[in-house]
Structure 1
Amino acid sequence: MTLTALLKTASVSALALSIGVASTAQADTWRYAHEEYEGDVQDVFAYKFKEYVEDNSDHTVQVFRFGELGESDDILEQTQMGILNFVNQSPGFTGSVIPAAQIFFIPYLMPTDEETVIEFFKTSEAINEMFPELYAEQGLELLQMYPEGEMVVTVDEPVRSPDDFQGKNIRTMTNPLLAETYRAFGATPTPLPWGEVYGGLQTNILQGQENPIFWIESGGLYEVSPNLVFTGHGWFTTALMANQDFYNGLPAEDKELVQEATAFAFDYINEYVPGLSEEALQTILDSSDEVTVTRLTEAEIEAFRARAPQVEEEFLSMTGETGRELLEQFKADLEAVTN
């Protein structure tokens, strides 16, 4: 077993031991993990949730950031097992257990306008009524989905067409549909956990990756992959979930508290995200003279958009009638906020 694996096992074992103590002496400590660093969007959301809970009850919320309990798949599994009470995670990882969650990786399905995207997440029937049922099938109470930022591709050289992606290994989350997206774009998709991305770019095992710009800045990805390409193909989406047995076992007042804390954090993040990308990009530009920024023209985007239907067809083949119904509602909800 590697040192990393040993440390992760020790951390989870210590957490499990603390749960045994908490169940008898401190049952009001709720354990919440997310997949980002201090000050990133999920972290801000988590601490707003924590703030509301602790200001309005005797409960406390213990927040675990990326790496403290393992990778994204680890904290999802720990939530399903009941070791964690709450987890904040992208559908990019939950897509392996909830295939329909991969809908967010159909390129050019979502608009790029921030206000429109936020309104969609507030009002969408697909988001707020259909998705909770799908998550419940996996023992998860879906509390809130929300957008974090437009996806940006970083590469070893500027890219303006699918031909430019030929021969490039582009890191994707461990998500089959996202891999299909980059295959359609002309690249070679390379699914990897986050912990291996920086080193892969640094050693040229990878020639690129995608993430929202704030994560590119906070993770230092621009240091080893300095060419930023705005393709306009999608948004990074995440979701706050609870272990369903834990949530269902809460008294009514605590369920209401969880819902109110979630709404409080969601309202805050909807004010926090707009403008965040511009600030992060400026920080990157101020930090490095090697960074280039490429914003595709509408004509250049069209060459990528023309390849989106094959990804949509792959989504439907993966998800069957469930995916078809979800996609139809998703498109209807988007039309309602764009017209």
Structure 2
Amino acid sequence: MRKLKALAGACTLALATLGTMATAEAATWRYAFEEALTDVQGVYASKFKEHIEANSDHRIQLFPYGTLGESADIMEQTQAGLLQFVDQSPGFTGSLIPEAQIFFIPYLLPETQEALDHFFRNSKAINEDFKSIYAQHGLELLKMFPEGEVVVTTQEPFDSPAGLDGVKVRVMTNPLLVESYKAFGATPTPLPWGEVYGGLQTNIIQGQENPLFWVESAKMYEVTDVITFTGHNNFTTAVMANKRFFDGLPAEDQKLVRDAMQAAFDHIMEYQKGLSERSLAKILEQKPEMKVVHLTAEQRAPFRAAAENVEAKFIDMTGDSGKALLQQFKQDLEAAKAQ
């Protein structure tokens, strides 16, 4: 079924290409992402589109989640040049780019919005080191940005790794995320996103992790009963371009794209202020009996301790390049926290 969806998506793009053959002056660029148009990635993409179209004759065609297949499909289509832009979490690119799994080391990213903003704007690891890594895979890394604190939704409450014993928690197809939930005491279960709601409904899995806006948007609260704030991560995503396409653009168009990415970044960081709180309020309005648990610092301590093992696994998976990247990452994080 996934292959059929991918084929249908490729055919859609091929037809779109024929229907929008561009002159040197104006082009239609195609941009796919992993969420709905009204979710964080969709809001970011819409702002990018608005800036491009307001400042040039180019047009942006947006493809929200599901229109061109699953996450693996849109990455393949971008690398093949059928898509010009793609927004995809390192959670899915981790198998392709092992170093991108750094974002899944628990308790590594700062927990305040101010520190996150400073980190993503100024990090050398993100804005320089990662660019050369992505380029090796035919991708021009344009921007990374956070989407919100990750919470865990389950059928039953837990307040320690022992409370997750035997609980099958859905994770993205990311080797380090699998290791994280093993360390947390759970049974990590990689699943494509399209199978998660049904998996929870039929008890194939008993939990999943995501930012609160996605728990609300995708109605995860309908098939789970507890939201737990563990403080272990902030969901990160990356916007990339097909490198051959980007390198072939005139200098003025490259600047246009970078300016549009920065405008979208500024907009999404402002948009996210209070988003988690608004999302939680909507969830509780729809399901007042939903239990919300904030783990205390004492309860988080064993999860933090488990993160040390995950960090060691990251270095094992990525070798010297990952070790150097992690060192730079931590330097950038210290600078962000100092601010």
Aligned residues: percent identity? 58
Distance 1:72 1:249 in 2: 25
CA offsets per residue over residues 161-180 of structure 1, 9 Å max, x none? Answer: 00000000000000000000
Shift of 1:37: 1.1
Aligned to 1:282: 281
Aligned to 1:43: 42
AA in 2 matched with 1:137: Q
Change (3 A) 1:7 1:177: closer
AA in 2 matched with 1:84: L
Aligned to 1:220: 219
Aligned to 2:162: 163
Distance 1:92 1:10 in 2: 24
Distance 2:6 2:83 in 1: 15
Structure 2 residue runs of 5 or longer lacking an equivalent are none
The reply on whether 1:266 has 2:270 as its aligned counterpart is no
Distance 1:301 1:7 in 2: 41
The answer to whether the 8 A contact 1:8-1:68 is kept is: no
5 Å-filtered alignment, 1:176-195, equals: 176-195=175-194
The answer to whether the 8 A contact 1:37-1:66 is kept is: yes
SS for the counterpart of 1:306 is helix
Shift of 1:23: 3.1
AA in 1 matched with 2:56: S
Change (3 A) 1:60 1:313: same
Aligned to 1:11: 9
CA offsets per residue over residues 124-161 of structure 1, 9 Å max, x none? Answer: 11111100010000000000000000000000111100
Distance 1:331 1:10 in 2: 43
Distance 2:119 2:273 in 1: 15
Distance 2:109 2:4 in 1: 41
5 Å-filtered alignment, 1:122-201, equals: 122-201=121-200
Aligned to 2:70: 71
Aligned to 2:238: 239
Distance 1:272 1:219 in 2: 19
The reply on whether 1:103 has 2:84 as its aligned counterpart is no
Shift of 1:290: 2.7
- Equivalent pairs counted in the alignment come to 337
Structure 1 residue runs of 5 or longer lacking an equivalent are none
AA in 2 matched with 1:36: E
Distance 1:10 1:120 in 2: 39
CA offsets per residue over residues 93-118 of structure 1, 9 Å max, x none? Answer: 01111100000000011121111111
The answer to whether the 8 A contact 2:150-2:210 is kept is: yes
Change (3 A) 1:177 1:57: same
SS for the counterpart of 1:110 is coil
Tell me the TM-score normalised to structure 2 length: 0.97
AA in 1 matched with 2:21: S
Distance 1:25 1:188 in 2: 53
